């Protein structure tokens, strides 16, 4: 009996090791900004995640060249929410963490992956409006950079604590390093 249990455990571990880090579909369709103030973007629950880098695509697909490339994103509230949301992201193929940055390095710089991780953040907090204030739906709540360190599909998530409120897939197309 012990031998059978051990064999089952080995098979289960082998199967788990062969699975991708995340189950991801293709890239999400882009939706228009309800206010028409920004380029179309990916709806992430009460947020619209947008960039001018979609290059006429109908889906969330970006061109990518190298690890140190940074993509400027704007995030706007398109629906009400009461509590802060935390944005995180992972590469579907291997679970690599999406990085967030407020600024960027020189255009000709070639930082290592270790330097990128040291100078960027694995999450971004999108604050909820103060209870006493009038929330302006459509207000841009974040303008910063997403650092995709490899091509592939990336799952972006908005979280309320540990609970995933919404997720979206952005496909990054380019050379693999």
CATH of the domain at 142: 2.60.40.2550
pLDDT the model gives residue 98: 93
Instruction: Give Rg (Cα) of the chain.
Output: 19
Q: Distance from first CA to last CA of the chain, Å, rounded?
A: 46
pLDDT the model gives residue 71: 79
Q: Out of 6-20, 37-51, 141-155, which region has the weakest mean confidence (pLDDT)?
A: 6-20
Which of 40, 21, 18 shows the shortest CA–CA distance to 29? 40
- Residue tagged 């963490």 (tokens): 97
pLDDT the model gives residue 81: 86
The tally of domains found in the chain comes to 1
Domain span at residue 133? 23-173
Tokens standing for residue 133: 């204030």
**Cα–Cα distance between 52 and 39 in angstroms, integer?**
6
Residue 3 lies in a domain: no
Residue 18 lies in a domain: no
How confident is the model over 15-70, as pLDDT tens digits?
434 444 568 999 999 999 888 888 899 999 999 999 888 888 899 998 877 665 66
Q: Are 107 and 101 in contact (CB under 8 A)?
A: no
| Most distant pair of Cα atoms in the chain: their distance | 66
How confident is the model over 62-112, as pLDDT tens digits?
887 766 566 788 888 888 888 999 999 999 999 999 998 877 666 666 777
């Amino acid at each position: 009996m012990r031998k059978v249990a051990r064999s089952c455990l080995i098979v289960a571990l082998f199967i788990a090791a062969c699975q991708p880090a995340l189950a991801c579909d293709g890239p999400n369709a882009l939706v228009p900004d309800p206010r028409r103030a920004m380029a179309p973007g990916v709806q992430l629950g009460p947020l619209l995640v947008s960039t001018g880098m979609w290059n006429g695509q109908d889906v969330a697909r970006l061109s990518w060249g190298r690890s140190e490339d940074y993509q400027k994103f704007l995030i706007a509230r398109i629906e009400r929410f009461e509590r802060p949301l935390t944005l995180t992201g992972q590469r579907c193929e291997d679970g690599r963490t999406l990085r967030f940055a407020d600024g960027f390095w020189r255009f000709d710089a070639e930082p290592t992956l270790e330097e990128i991780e040291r100078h960027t953040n694995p999450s971004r907090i999108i604050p909820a409006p103060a209870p006493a204030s009038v929330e302006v739906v459509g207000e841009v709540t974040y303008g910063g950079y997403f650092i995709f360190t490899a091509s592939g599909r990336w799952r972006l998530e908005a979280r309320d604590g540990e609970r995933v409120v919404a997720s979206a897939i952005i496909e990054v197309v380019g050379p693999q390093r």
